[in-house]
Amino acid sequence: MPELHRLWPRARVGGCRLELCAETLVTMVRYPFLNSSLTFLYWAPMQFADRLNNVETSAIRELFKLLGKPGIISFAGGFPDSAMFDVAGIKEAVNLALTQEPGAALQYGATEGYNPLREQLSAFMKSKGVDVSPEGLIVTTGSQQALDLLGKTMISPGDKVIVEAPTFLATIQCFRLYGAELISAPIDADGVKTDELEKLIAEHKPKFVYLIPTFGNPSGATLSLERRKKVLELAVKYQTLIVEDDPYGDLYFNKAPPPSILSLSKDVPGSRELIAHCGSLSKVLSPGLRVGWMIAPAELLAKATMCKQFSDAHTSTFAQATAAHYLKAGRMPATLANVRKVYGERAVAMGAALKRELGDAIEFTQPQGGLFFWVRLTGAGGNTKDAGEFAKRAIEKGVAFVPGAPFYAADPDVATFRLSFATADVGKIEEGVGRLGKAI
Ligand SMILES: Cc1ncc(COP(=O)(O)O)c(C=O)c1O
């Protein structure tokens, strides 16, 4: 008999596939009646890295598969509206990059980033009250890469990281990939509750605290000025690194939000060296450019740069040169004014429609910026309190949104859900929310 007991364990522990193949082929010739089971042995499952045991495919991706249904109005995505991209301005920037420095724009570049872009980003941050030199920031491939680099450089398996409940789903997945144990800090409309945060820091001594303090995804919440200062004091008191993820801070509708935590660090002695700040052009200019940046203490930037070398060598020089010319041309203020106006109108329309169509079946805080409404089903009038169930009914009525549960690292509030007002115009928003009213 062929030594099946010998082949099988070898296949399961991921033993040499070639050896298994050769041995299997010999056996198949000698014992043709066993061919089907041996073929099965050859196709033994891949032995993936243990770190993948901590993460799952996003439930949201599963939902996105349903969005192809004709006629669906989607409030599900976290994208800006592609109709709002400043194509003319980007075209001009591309032309300038290709005529003025084609060699550099199409060549390999420095891992830290393309210097003309670092200079422009330094000036952009200065306009927002942050004094940072071009060398004090690195360019990343979207701010998502900055989060990944923070995971790579800071998290060892079993390390604790505090995140808001709820928080950005990709961050949960990314930090878990590096083996982090995520601790959830509660929030309200004014952002993370700093009293609770202090208790959690004292108890868990986290590697760092990750916050989206301005127009959070998914919560839409903005950390109050008072709490921002408190966060900085906690950083100093407990010598804890604070990661400020800020892709939405420029997207305010009327009143500017409080200054970033990084900008306020100049008022709290010793805090600047404890802040890592991630920025992005994705939500205001174009996510396809994949231009983000990270400002952090020099030691941390050096380690992140080293890890970036092994990862993508550098962010596309072509995209960086384009972004640099775009910023240099001085187009950003007009672009910001435009997106603030259009998204602001859509947010107002969605808030009014939600009140009209869903009344006391839901509760929410009207967002003052960003892209999202964070909504809670109240169960009033015997309506459902399960947002997953509501999402299924909504799809049947032709409207999609994302249930809130996946945005929690632990103890999900299943009554919550997220609506994006960014990609539908006012007419579609009213129609879509009308359909939600019929689905409840
Ligand atoms: C809170 C938050 N951080 C980071 C990102 C990543 O953005 P990007 O990589 O496009 O800069 C997103 C995108 O949705 C986000 O919502």
158 and 307 share a domain? yes
Q: Which domain holds residue 251?
A: 87-330
The atom number, within ligand 1, closest to the CA of 147 reads 4
Tell me the CA–centroid distance for residue 275 and ligand 1, in Å: 18
Q: What is the pLDDT of residues 81-95, one digit of tens each?
A: 999 999 999 999 999
Residue 113's identity, in one-letter code, is G
Are residues 324 and 358 located together in one domain of the fold? no
Residue with the bigger pLDDT between 194 and 7: it is 194
Q: What is the dihedral of CA 250, 251, 254, 256, to 10 degrees?
A: -30
Contacting residues for 48 by C-beta, under 8 A, at least 6 apart: none
- Poorest-pLDDT segment among 42-46, 185-189, 382-386: 42-46
For residues 295 and 388, membership in a common domain is answered with: no
Among residues 273, 307, 330, which one ends one of the domains?
330
399-400 and 73-74 beta bridge pairing: parallel
Q: Which of 60, 64, 144, 371 for a ligand 1 pocket mutation test, highest count of atoms within 8 Å of Cβ?
A: 144
My answer on whether 25 and 61 are in the same domain is no
71-78 mean pLDDT: 93
The CA 282 to ligand 1 mean position distance, Å, reads: 7
What does residue 221 show for φ and ψ, rounded to 5 degrees?
A: -70, 150
Tokens 């384009």 found at: 322
322 and 242 fall within a common domain: yes
Same domain, 157 and 264: yes
pLDDT for the residue 100: 97
Domain identity same for 216 and 314: yes
Please indicate, yes or no, whether residues 375 and 304 belong to a single structural domain of this protein: no
In terms of DSSP H, where are the helices of 178-313?
Answer: 194-204, 225-238, 261-264, 298-311
CATH of the domain at 367: 3.90.1150.10
Give the β-pairing of 275-280 and 291-295.
antiparallel
> Domain containing 110 — which CATH number?
3.40.640.10
Of 277, 280, 315, the residue with max ligand 1 atoms within 8 A of its CB, to mutate for a pocket test, comes to 280
How many structural domains is the chain composed of?
A: 3
Ligand 1: residue of 139, 217, 418 to mutate (most ligand atoms within 8 A of CB) is: 217
CA 329 to ligand 1 center in whole angstroms:
25
What is the CA(156)–ligand 1 centre distance, in A?
23
Q: Are residues 380 and 289 in the same domain?
A: no
DSSP run (H or E) holding 42: helix 35-42
| Final residue belonging to a domain, choices 284, 309, 330 | 330
Q: Measuring from each residue's beta carbon to the nearest atom of ligand 1, which residues come in under 6 Å?
A: 78, 142-144, 168, 212, 217, 245, 247, 280, 282, 287, 292
Using DSSP's 3-state secondary structure scheme, residue 162 falls into strand
| Residue 53: predicted pLDDT | 86
Mean pLDDT of the chain, nearest integer: 91
* 30 shares a domain with 141: no
Is residue 5 pLDDT above 60, yes or no?
A: no
Q: What is the pLDDT of residues 104-121, one digit of tens each?
A: 999 999 999 999 999 999
Residue keyed to tokens 């919560």? 219
Mutate to test the pocket of ligand 1, among 173, 245, 315 (most ligand atoms within 8 A of CB): 245
pLDDT value for 358: 97
Mark whether 121 and 74 lie in a shared domain: no
Please name every residue paired with 294 in a beta bridge, in sequence order, or none if there are none. 138, 278
Identify whether the C-beta of residue 318 lies closer than 8 Å to the C-beta of residue 106: yes
Q: Ligand 1 centroid to 146 CA: how many Å? A: 10
Atom 8 of ligand 1, nearest CA residue: 142
230 & 357 share domain: no
- pLDDT band of 369, cuts 50, 70, 90: very high
- Tell me which of 330, 355, 389 is where a domain ends: 330
pLDDT above 90 (res 36): no
CB-count burial class (<10 Å; 0-12, 13-18, 19+) for 390:
buried
Least confident of 25-34, 53-62, 292-301: 25-34
So what's the pLDDT on residue 330? 97
